[in-house]
A and B are shown apart, each in its own frame.
Chain A
Amino acid sequence: MAYLLATNGLDRGQAYELVLGDNVIGRDADCDVHLNLPSVSRKHVRLIADDPHFTISELDSANGTKINGHQLTNPVSLQPGDVIKIADLEFSFVLKLPNITENVSGSNRTDFQPAAELSVLQRRSELLAQVRAFFCDHGFDEVETPALSIDTVVDRHLSPLSVVIHDETYWLQTSPEFHMKRLLAVGMNAIYQITRAFRNDEKGPYHNLEFTMLEWYRTSWSTDDAITFLGSLVTTILSTGAHQVFSYQQAFMTALEIDPLEDSTAKLLRCIAGLDFQPPENWRSMDRDGWLDLLFTEYVQPTLGLDVPTILVDYPLSQAALARQNPDNPKVADRFELFFHGVELANGYHELLDVQELRRRNERSNQQREQDGQPRLPQESYLDTAMQSGLPDCCGVALGFDRLVMLATGVPDISKVIAFPFDRA
C-alpha cells in the first residue's frame, strides 16, 4: 500500500501507513492518521486510497495543506514522491518504504541530519568540558592511544571488529585498557582518556556499536579510593546526593533472597523456575554466570541507583574479567560497577598484576568462546609483555560517556545523544 513518510519535525522518519478507502488526517484521536499538533486541524485533510489512484482533498483546515508547494483547494491526484505539507509538517507520499539497502546504494538518503537534538549535543559538549576539568583538578594527565590495535581484550561476551591491513589482522578496541596499562608500566601514574570503543552486535536503547568511553587509571590507589573517586565524579557531574555502596551479594539478597556466592546451583535454578518471567527457552543449558546475569538484568539491575548512584562491589571471582582476586575473600574479585536509575554506567577494577593468571583467564575465555561457537581471540599481547616487565599496583575504571549524557539530559535512547548513531554513520 502507500505511506506518508514524515520528513521534518520530531516525527521525521516516521511512516504512516494508509488504508484502502478513506484516510482522514488530523488532530482528532479517531483520525486514520493522527497528528497531535496544535497547528493541525481536528479533521485537516482527506486522502482517498483506491489503489492505484490516490486523491487528496482539503477539509476546511485552519492552516491549510500544500502539495508540492501549491495550496490545496480542489481535490488533487497524488503521485509517488509528492511532497505534502500539512500545516507545518512535511510528508513524502510513497508507495514503498525505503529500506536500508536502498538507502545505502542510492543517492537519495533522507537521514543526513543528526539523530540528536542540537540542545542535547550542546549539553554533551558541556559535559565533556566538565569531565576534563574534574580530571585536571585531580592531577590526571589526558592521554590518547590508538583505536586500532594488533591486540584485543579476550572476553567471552565481547565481539571485537577486525580490520585487515596489509594481510595483518588489527582490532578496533573494545576499550583502551591495554594501551593505557602500557603507559602505566613505563611510569605514568594518573591518566585518563575519552575515546571511541567498538563492540559488534550491540544495538539497543543503551548500546551503539561505536561509543564513547571515559577511562582512567591511577597507581597506588586502594580499591576504596577508586570507588570513592568514581562516586565523587558521577555525583558531581550529575549533581546528585552522595553515592551508596552495596555488595553484589547484598543486592541479590535484597531483590531475590538468594546468595549468588554461597547458594547451590539447584537453589539458583529453583529460583529462576519459580519466578514469573519468560527466561530463554534453553536457559537450563547456560552456566552459573549466565543464570546470575539473567536474574541480574531482570530483577536486580532495575532496582539499583533509583535515588542516588549506587556502586556494587565484590563481584563473583568467575566474573573478575581483569580485576584481581580480593586478598581477604577468595570468592570475590576487586571489581565494582556504578548504576544510576537502573543504568549500568561504569565498571572498575583493582587491576590484575599476575601475568600467569592473565594467561589462565584468557585461555578459559577462549575455551568458553569456542563452546559458544565464537572464534578464539589472540592471547599473546603487548599487555602480556608489559605485565611481565612489571605493571604497578593500580586501579582503573571505564565509564560509558553516552550513557552519562543520557542520564544528564533524561533522553532515554542512546541514539538520541549521539550526533550520528550507527544506522546513519
Chain B
Amino acid sequence: MATYKTNDFRKGLRVEINGEPYMMVEMNFVKPGKGNAFYKCKMRNLLRNTILDRTYKGGDSLESADVEEVGCQYLYKQGDTFYFMNNVDFDQYELSADQVGDYWKYLTEGMKCQTVLWNENPITLTPPNHVELKVEYCEPGAKGDTATSVTKPVTVETGAEILCPAFIEIGNVIKVDTRTGDYIERVNHK
C-alpha cells in the first residue's frame, strides 16, 4: 500500500484511517514563519459519509486507500442483496440493502448507476440524479384536481411510494429526483 507524506496532501486524496476509506475534502497548510508546519484536513468517510477533522504535523503520513469509481448497471435483487454489473468488464457486484439505502426506490432493471469500489469491493451506490418510473397503482384523483399543490401517494414499478400531484394516473411515467425523492414532472413519451 502506498503512503502519502504531508507534502503529498491535497483535496481529493483517498486515504485509509483506522481501517476505513476516506476522501480528503479540505486541506489547509498552516505554518508560522519560524515554526512547525501543520496540515488541517477534513476527510469524508466513504462508508458512512461522516466528516472527520484531523490536524497533521509536517512529516506525518497517511496510508492510501484503493478506491475507484466505476459505472455499472442494476441487474436484480435477491433477498437482501442487490446485484449490479460493471459496464466495461462485466464483473458482477453485490450490494447489501444497507449499502443501497433508500435508493432501492429508484432501481429498475438495466439502470445505469455508479458505485465506489474499495479494495475491489463495492461500498456505495449512486443512481442517476433523475429517473423515470412507471406508476402501477394510485387512487383516482377527484375531477378538476389539476393544481400541482394537491398531492397523493402513488406506487411505482419498484414498489416505492412517491408523492405526486393529484392528476397522475395508473400507467403514467413520472420523473423523480433521486437526491430528494421529489416528483419532478410527468413524462410524455413520444
Contact = CB atoms under 8 A, between A and B. Distances in A.
Contacts of B114: 1, 19-20
B129 A290 contact: no
A420 interface: no
Contacts of A207: 29, 31
A157 B53 CA distance: 24
A290 B29 contact: no
A347 interface: yes
B34 A32 contact: no
Interface stretch (A71-79, A229-237, A239-247, A293-301): A293-301
Of the listed residues B36, B53, B128, the one surrounded by the most CB atoms of chain A closer than 10 A to its CB is B36
B57 A290 contact: yes
A204 B30 contact: yes
B57 A20 contact: no
Given A20-B113, A22-B130, A51-B71, A344 B33 contact: yes
A202 interface: yes
A21 interface: yes
Interface string B28-41: 11111111111000
A358 B128 CA distance: 65
A280 B59 contact: no
A277 B38 CA distance: 13
A204 B6 CA distance: 12
Contact of A347 (B30, B34, B131): B34
A139 interface: no
Interface in A18-46: 19-23, 30, 32
Contact of B35 (A277, A280, A281, A296): A296
B112 interface: yes
B55 interface: yes
Given A50-B112, A280-B60, A373-B59, A20 B38 contact: no
A202 B38 contact: no
A204 B29 contact: yes
Nearest to A278: B53
A21 B131 contact: yes
A22 B128 contact: yes
B159 interface: no
A282 B60 CA distance: 9
A30 B184 CA distance: 11
A23 B128 CA distance: 9
Interface in A81-111: none
B54 interface: yes
A155 B35 CA distance: 9
Nearest to B56: A280
Contacts of B130: 21-22
A280 B55 contact: yes
Contacts of A155: 34
Contact of A21 (B29, B87, B129): B129
Interface string A197-217: 000011111110000000000
Interface string A370-388: 0011000000000000000
SS class of chain B's interface: helix, strand, loop or mixed?
strand
B38 A319 contact: no
B49 interface: no
B112 A297 contact: no
A104 B40 CA distance: 28
Nearest to B71: A51
B140 interface: no
Contacts of B30: 204, 297
A391 interface: no
B37 to A, nearest CB: 7
A222 B56 CA distance: 39
B118 to A, nearest CB: 19
A50 B71 CA distance: 11
B35 A319 contact: yes
B171 interface: no
A278 B129 contact: no
B28 A344 contact: no
A142 interface: no
A294 B131 contact: no
B101 interface: no
Contacts of A398: 33
Of the listed residues B31, B56, B112, B131, the one surrounded by the most CB atoms of chain A closer than 10 A to its CB is B31
Contacts of A294: 36, 38, 55
B121 interface: no
Given A51-B87, A204-B29, A286-B57, A297 B113 contact: no
25 contacts: A1-B69, A19-B126, A19-B129, A20-B113, A21-B130, A21-B131, A32-B129, A157-B34, A157-B36, A157-B37, A201-B58, A204-B28, A205-B28, A207-B31, A277-B55, A280-B38, A280-B54, A280-B57, A281-B54, A286-B36, A286-B57, A290-B36, A293-B35, A297-B31, A347-B33
Which 3 A-B pairs rank lowest in CB-CB distance, beginning with the nearest?
Answer: A204-B29, A21-B128, A293-B35
Interface of B: 6-7, 28-38, 53-60, 69, 71, 87, 112-114, 126, 128-131, 177
Given A19-B126, A280-B54, A280-B56, 19 more contacts: A1-B114, A19-B114, A19-B129, A20-B114, A51-B71, A201-B58, A207-B29, A278-B54, A279-B55, A280-B38, A280-B55, A280-B60, A282-B60, A283-B57, A290-B57, A293-B36, A296-B35, A347-B34, A373-B59
